[in-house]
Amino acid sequence: MTASLAVVLIAYFAGVITLGIVGYRRTRTSADFIVAGRTLGPLVGGATLAATQISAGTFVGTVGLHYLAGVSFVWVWPGAWLGWFVSAVFVAPRLRDAGTLTIPEYCEARFGSRAVRALAAVLIVVAYTIFLVAQYKASGIIVSTVLGWPAWTGIALVLVSTVVYSLAGGLHGGARIDLLQSMVMVVGLVAAVPYLLGHLGGLDALGRALAQIDPRLLGSFFEWRELLAFGAAFGLSLAATPLEATRFMAMRDRATARYAIGVAYIFQAVIGCAIMIVGLSMRALFPTLPSADLASSVMAAHVLTPVAGALLLVAAFSAIMSTVNAILLVGAASVAHDLYGRFLKPAATELERLAANRIAVLALAVLPVWFAMREVTLVQFIVLAQANLIASAFFAPIVVGLNWRRGGKAAALGSMLGGTAACVIWTLTTPRPLGLEPIFAGVCASLAMFVLFAALERPSS
Amino acid sequence: MQGFGWTFYGFFLFCIVWIAGYFAWARWMAAREARERLRPERGKKG
């Protein structure tokens, strides 16, 4: 495995470095750094949307859930895609035409308030720092399980490689590397499928093996209500997350933004189907793993051929790196463009803003390492917590704010603070009040506050 | 013994229908926007 891994890693990083250099040469201004000069086409745009959403949680958590619960979990994807469809209709085209570089900047332009911009920037930095902890932790887990190396080596690998290309090329480099990484994910996962099915004796044999373990694995392990709740949670956060929304601002035009979502569907459909078969096959091969989250790592280490295992490992790192890159660029833009460039030094030159973006990337990348090295909660829990927080804070100001003329400063501040507070209260309280998941409580509170304050505010001209 | 059912094969079908439908809609929207962009220019000529 080690020799194959070395070859695959060298080829992969050669591609990453080359695309990073291309990005560096194209990055002259902070607009180039943050939104790639608004030049992304449908293929690169779609790949960057897909790669940003597919993270450590997909490779570790989703494979694990298919291992545990069988086929039915695949029906969570339509919920996420519905979120993107909401985005395609109500968010992406309007954000593309808003002319702003970041979500906090859009908030100031839409709601006419610097306080809303500052609050949005702070919420983004806090939520995405939490998200980074999950990505670092997952990279440590994968490296220690598959290769037997200490967890910090995985964290260091992701940190150094991603920071270098994020610093150098901004979104110009990051988006093109996302295309490479999406392709690596597709190849790594799709290559594993025929090997696993061949190992088991085909699809029918897999079905028979699963039926013997637990017939629910082939049908409805989860009820439709549970699937609806999972899917709605993903969809709500996808429709409004600044991580994806910023990508729409980088597209060539509004039609491109819509086509890019279609391309992202294709990448995710292939990856989703492959991940389902991988999880099911691992259950048939190893019915009693100590933890479902180990399924993908055990497969890479013990089931696949060395080359296929190495490909899968690099695919998992691609998923992590693409998400880390997106977090760093969006978080850094909030610090440099929205806090430094708007409040600390509004007269900053283009070069100073670009330098501030790069310094912020470095600072935001290093900050969560301390938390990732500690014994904190499960990776999937951290991913879910930040997704809940982001959806609760931003769903109303982005989705409603873009499509309803009513609502100003008070509506935006009330919905962001109310949604965040409800999400935190519901997360920390057991049993959940009213039996609601934190994301639904947060989004409902955020919507209610927005409508309430909008009704109380004087309509703007 | 039992094999895979609609929850498994249905998802593949769903993906194909969803993606094809989505691209048809995106194309229609792009064509509509292009027509809207042309409309004022025609007005100027007239």
Whole-number Cα distances in Å, A81 to A69, A260, A264, A266, A267: 21, 13, 9, 11, 12
Cβ contact A452:A433 at 8 Å: no
A413 vs A435, higher pLDDT? A413
Higher-scoring residue by pLDDT: A241, B2: A241
3-state secondary structure of A402: coil
Structure confidence by residue, pLDDT tens digits, A414-459: 999 999 999 999 988 888 888 888 889 999 999 999 999 999 887 6
Share of chain A above pLDDT 90, in %: 41
Tell me the mean pLDDT in the region A83-91: 91
What is the Cα A8 distance to its own chain's centre?
A: 24
Q: For A100, which DSSP code?
A: -
Residue A380 has pLDDT above 70, yes or no: no
Q: Which pLDDT score, from 0 to 100, does residue A379 have?
A: 62
Alpha helices in A202-305 (DSSP H): 203-213, 224-240, 242-249, 254-285, 295-298
Nearest Cα residue to A147 out of A315, A313, A372, A292: A313
| Chain B residues in contact with A259 (beta carbon < 8 A) | 23, 26, 30
In B, which residues are within 8 Å of A254 by CB distance? 33
Q: Let me know: does A159 contact A369? Beta carbons within 8 Å.
A: yes
Provide the mean pLDDT of chain A: 88
A251 forms bridges with which residues in the sheet? A40
Q: What's residue A28's pLDDT? A: 87
pTM metric for this prediction: 0.88
Contacts of B12 in chain A (CB under 8 A): 273
Question: Would you say residue A235 has pLDDT above 50?
Answer: yes
Going by the DSSP 8-state scheme, the letter that residue A252 receives in this structure is S
- Answer yes or no: are the C-beta atoms of A300 and A312 closer than 8 Å: yes
A411: pLDDT strictly greater than 70: yes
Residue among A71, A81, A88 minimizing CB distance to B7:
A71
Given a cut of 70, whether residue B45 has pLDDT beyond it is no
What is the reported pLDDT for A459? Answer: 65
What are A396's two structure tokens? 């109303």
Q: What is the pLDDT of residue A229?
A: 79
Choose among B2, B11, B12: nearest Cβ to A211: B2
Phi-psi sector, A407: left (phi>0), alpha (psi -120 to 50), beta: left
Pairs across A and B, CB distance < 8 A: 67
pLDDT at B1: 47
Mean pLDDT (whole number) for A368-384: 72
Residues of A in contact with B8 (CB under 8 A): 71, 74, 218
Nearest by Cα to A72 from B22, B18, B8, B9: B8
Q: Which residue of B has its CA nearest to A74?
A: B11
Angle, vertex CA A377, rays to CA A439 and CA A363, nearest 5 = 85
Mark yes or no for CB contact A78/B18 under 8 Å: yes
The residue behind tokens 């935190």 is: A424
Which pLDDT does position B24 carry in this prediction? Answer: 97
How high is the pLDDT of residue A179?
Answer: 92
DSSP conformation class of A336: I
Question: What pLDDT is attached to residue B43?
Answer: 55
CB of A227 within 8 Å of a chain B CB? The answer is no
Sequence-ordered list of residues with C-beta below 8 angstroms from that of A236, at least 6 positions apart, any chain: A83, A391, A395, A439, A443
Give CA–CA dist A395/A339, Å, rounded.
Answer: 22
Residue (of A67, A83, A133, A369) closest to A233 by Cα position:
A83
**Considering chain B, what is the average pLDDT of its residues?**
85
Residue of B nearest to A219 (CA): B7
Among candidate residues A364, A441, A415, the one with its CA nearest the CA of residue A131: A364
Place of tokens 């983004």: A124
List, in order, residues 6 or more apart from A104 with CB less than 8 Å away: A116, A117, A118, A120, A121, A124, A334, A337, A338
The count of other CB atoms within 10 Å of the CB of residue A226 is 15
Residues of chain B contacting residue A77, judged by C-beta atoms under 8 Å apart: 11
Local structure of A194: helix, strand or coil: helix
Structure tokens of B25?
Answer: 């809609």
Distance CA A224, CA B7 (A): 11
CA dist., res. A365 & res. A386, Å (int): 17
| Rounded mean pLDDT, A41-66 | 88
Closest listed residue to residue A216, CA positions, set B20, B46, B2, B19: B2
Instruction: Quote the percentage of chain B above a pLDDT of 90.
Output: 54
Identify the weakest region by mean pLDDT among A74-88, A377-391, B4-18, B27-41. Answer: A377-391
pLDDT, position A412: 95
Instruction: Tell me the per-residue pLDDT of A134-182, one tens digit each, with 9 for 90 and over.
Output: 888 888 888 888 888 888 898 898 899 889 888 888 889 889 998 998 8
C-alpha–C-alpha distance, residues A145 and A159, integer Å:
19
Q: Looking at residue B46, what is its pLDDT?
A: 43
A201 backbone φψ class: left, alpha, beta (φ>0; ψ -120 to 50): left
User: Between B27 and A131, whose confidence is greater?
Assistant: B27
Please state, for a pLDDT cut of 70, what percent of chain A lies above it: 98
| Closest CA of chain B from A290, distance in Å | 26
CA distance A337 to chain B (A): 32
The helix/strand/coil state of A136 is helix
**pLDDT for the residue A430:** 81
Give the H/E segment covering residue A6: helix A2-26
Q: What is the mean pLDDT of residues A371-382?
A: 68
In the predicted structure, residue B32 carries a pLDDT above the cut 60: yes
B29: contact with A, CB 8 A cutoff = yes
Whether residue B2 has pLDDT greater than 70? no
